[in-house]
Amino acid sequence: MWGKDCLRDCSCRDIDTVCNETSGCEQCPDGFEGGDCHGDINECSGNPCDEHATCNNTIGTFKCVCKAGYTQYNATVCKDLDECESVPCQNGGDCDNGINAYSCRCAAGYNGTNCENDMNECSSSPCLNSGTCKDLINKFRCSCVRGFTGKNCETEIDVCESNPCKHSVNCTQDGGRYICHCEPGYTGLNCHIDIDECESNPCQNGATCTDVINGYNCRCKAGYSGVTCETGMTD
């Protein structure tokens, strides 16, 4: 019933109507249908949301809920969420945006999900012959033990190549050092010292000693003879 004193009958012919106590029969409000407009229309039936959203039907309307990796652009459209916007990649890494994900392309010398790890270039033991490895960014440096050189301490230095031995029959290497095998009459690291054979005073009876290579000469006083002037002459 409707109208003054509720005396008029609401004889609504359309199904989707409702009786208003003041104005009589009225069409159902948007989103409702059926007798007395008690039926909620499923606004999701027409697929109003785009492919990246899920439609949730509500009383008289609907709501588009974006899927993971997407953000709301407007009521029905979701756009891809840029996971690189927060700059997750470290140490100069480049970020590639994906669907609800991202990937980092690391600069040389770094690895890890976010390029957070400095790669240890020494882990493969690149330094040879007991060299010590120091890890650097995208490279390493070897400190070689004596007698070796090269980026990886791979080359043995020929310490005899510069001919350090002066008066030597030959030069040999020993752990990065050289050994001079001196000719008779010479001594010292490089066989550069002439041995003074007169130092031991080999000449006797007041004779004068003259040093020569690998020997000596005695100049005897009158009345003496022999290699060391050891023999006295008799009349």
CATH number of the domain bearing residue 129: 2.10.25.10
What are the helix and strand counts (H, E) for the chain?
A: 0, 24
d(CA 161, CA 118): 41
Average of per-residue pLDDT values in the chain:
88
45 in any annotated domain = no
Claim to verify: residue 130 and residue 145 sit in the same structural domain:
yes
Q: Which two tokens stand for residue 175?
A: 């752990």
Claim to verify: residue 72 and residue 110 sit in the same structural domain:
yes
Claim to verify: residue 186 and residue 216 sit in the same structural domain:
no
Claim to verify: residue 59 and residue 108 sit in the same structural domain:
yes
Claim to verify: residue 106 and residue 56 sit in the same structural domain:
yes
Residue pLDDT, tens place only, 23-44: 777 777 777 766 566 677 788 9
Q: Is a pLDDT exceeding 90 seen at residue 81?
A: no
Q: What is the pLDDT of residue 106?
A: 96
Segment 174-194 shows an average pLDDT of: 90
Q: What is the pLDDT of residue 212?
A: 93
Claim to verify: residue 87 and residue 114 sit in the same structural domain:
yes
Q: Is a pLDDT exceeding 50 seen at residue 235?
A: no
What share of the chain has pLDDT > 90, as a percent?
58
Segment 123-133 shows an average pLDDT of: 95
Residue pLDDT, tens place only, 190-206: 999 999 999 999 999 99
Q: Give the residue numbers spanning the domain of 31.
A: 4-40
Q: Which two tokens stand for residue 96?
A: 């590639």
110 in any annotated domain = yes
Give pTM, 2 decimals: 0.48
- Position of tokens 């005396």? 7
**60 conformational bin, left if phi > 0, alpha if psi -120 to 50, beta if neither:** left
The number of domains in the chain is: 5
Claim to verify: residue 188 and residue 213 sit in the same structural domain:
no
- Label the pairing between strands 132-136 and 117-118: unpaired
Residues 6+ apart with CB under 8 A from 192: 166, 167, 186
d(CA 50, CA 72): 11
Q: What is the pLDDT of residue 203?
A: 95
